[in-house]
Amino acid sequence: MTPDPASFDAAKSYRERALKTLSYGVSSTPRGRQQPAPIVADRAAGAHIWDRTGSRFIDYAAGYGPLILGHSPSCVIDAVKAELDRGLRTASVHEGEATLAELVCETLPAAQKCAFVSSGSEAIQLALRIARAATGRTKVVKFRGNYHGWMDGVHVAGAPGNDGPGTIGQDPGAAASLTILDWGDTNALAETLNSDYAAVILEPVAVNGGCFAPPNGFLAEARRLTKQHGAVLIFDEVITGYRLALGGAQAVHGVTPDMAVIGKAMGGGLPIGAVVGSDAVMEPVSSGRLLHRGTFNGNPVSIAAAIACISHLMEHAPTLYPYIDGLAAQLETGLRDAAARNGTVCTVNRTGSAVQLALGVAEMRGLADTARADFPATARFAGHLLREGVQIIGRGLTYTTAAHDAGDIAETITAYDAAFKAMADEGGAP
């Protein structure tokens, strides 16, 4: 069912109103770039979002990842309601914190100790601080195209061809202790690492760069080299944690880092992030020597949501992960076939339940290919899909959730054809 075009008129007029008082009309810049206009979510259930005009959209943005159980999983909603009934208790010590830590330690191979914060970016900041405290060193290796949140100290080298800050206004000095290498380049890592390095931080599966699985041996070699040089190996599993598998990419690829950062899917849609690691590496924070601060850290509502979400994932993992990956595999094939039918050059990469579309490149195996992809055209394609009632992330990323079903997939594949055809009709298809 395609949305009423009035939806987009309503979205545009909301945007005009919002722009008057709300910077960029949104609360996170990428949301403001949605084409033809950022849809205004009035309510959501399962895999669907409705706007105020009553138009329904199949949602594969999934909150930019967190909504692994969809928009209204009863386990999470009930847990949150029950928690609200007990009073907010913001910044209190409460039992849920230890319960969640126990679940995380049970599920993630790297986790012997946890520290909670409210977002992935905060968790990265804390992880690097702990790594520096644990080693007494400062330098950190970061890889091109890996995104580790928006803090000045790591928000660099995100886009191909730009090793500098990710945005205007950053303190260029904040990232001075980073050494930037190509993701997957084990030789460069071997040549770089020495006893000056506190940590190597990486996305074990490069979802942000283009949905790349790690090259053979890369994670194992990073493990060996960091051990050899006494540096902390940090996996940024903010996307892959609880999405790729119950044990994250570290379980899938059989390499256990010293420390991992998680967020997004662990909270089932509520704001939370965590640093987890071995007893040894977490000692500075576990002992109270290192300051881990934050008014909203461990807030009872987010903790309750995360307990409910992880408990559900633990109970259903043997069927849930194959289910969401299977749906994503159908979208992968559907996208490729629809592009071929419409004569559009593109790449579709998939890792688990994440599918990346990039127009203009016939294959995308690494960041050099990502640099050649036509992301403005990909965003226009996402705009045409939205007109057909399907929401993906504008840079071409799709997440399936446990709430999507076969009907959603069939509707989406029909929408792919219509969107590719619209691109071809406007002469904008690569």
Ligand X SMILES: Cc1ncc(COP(=O)(O)O)c(C=O)c1O
Nearer to ligand X, 63 or 360 (CB): 63
First to last CA, the chain: 27
What the block records as the tokens of 302 is 């987010």
Q: Does 242 bind ligand X (CB under 6 A)?
A: no
Interface mask toward ligand X for 260-279; x: CB under 6 A: ---x---------x------
Among the listed residues 238, 310, 385, 422, the single contact to ligand X using CB under 6 A: 238
Nearer to ligand X, 208 or 356 (CB): 208
Question: Is the omega angle on the peptide bond into residue 36 within 30 degrees of 0, that is, cis?
Answer: yes
Min CB(143)–ligand X separation in Å? 11
Among the listed residues 7, 34, 107, 121, the single contact to ligand X using CB under 6 A: 121
Whole-number Å distance between alpha carbons of 397 and 349? 10
| Helix (H/G/I), strand (E/B), else coil: 228 | helix
How do strand 354-359 and strand 397-399 relate by DSSP bridges? antiparallel
Stretch that binds ligand X, among 33-41, 141-149, 300-308, 361-369 (CB under 6 A): 141-149
Stretch that binds ligand X, among 146-154, 181-189, 209-217, 335-343 (CB under 6 A): 146-154
Whole-number Å distance between alpha carbons of 140 and 157? 13
Min CB(54)–ligand X separation in Å? 31
What the block records as the tokens of 189 is 């890592």
Element (H or E) spanning 359, and its range?
Answer: strand 354-359
Among the listed residues 129, 132, 144, 148, the single contact to ligand X using CB under 6 A: 148
Distance of CA 154 to the CA centre of its chain: 16
Q: Does 120 bind ligand X (CB under 6 A)?
A: yes
Whole-number Å distance between alpha carbons of 118 and 101? 15
Q: Does 211 bind ligand X (CB under 6 A)?
A: no
- Closest by CA to 243, choosing from 141, 167, 352, 349, is 352
Stretch that binds ligand X, among 125-133, 233-241, 329-337, 397-405 (CB under 6 A): 233-241
Q: Does 147 bind ligand X (CB under 6 A)?
A: yes
Among the listed residues 83, 221, 236, 369, the single contact to ligand X using CB under 6 A: 236
| Residues from 90 through 119 that contact ligand X (CB under 6 A) | 119
Stretch that binds ligand X, among 120-128, 179-187, 249-257, 325-333 (CB under 6 A): 120-128
Q: Does 203 bind ligand X (CB under 6 A)?
A: yes
> ∠ CA 210-216-219 to the nearest 5 degrees?
80
Helices (H) and strands (E) in the chain, counts: 12, 14
Whole-number Å distance between alpha carbons of 305 and 96? 10
Which residue lies nearest ligand X, judged by its C-beta?
Answer: 120
The residues binding ligand X (CB under 6 A) are: 64, 119-121, 124, 147-149, 203, 208, 236, 238-239, 263, 273
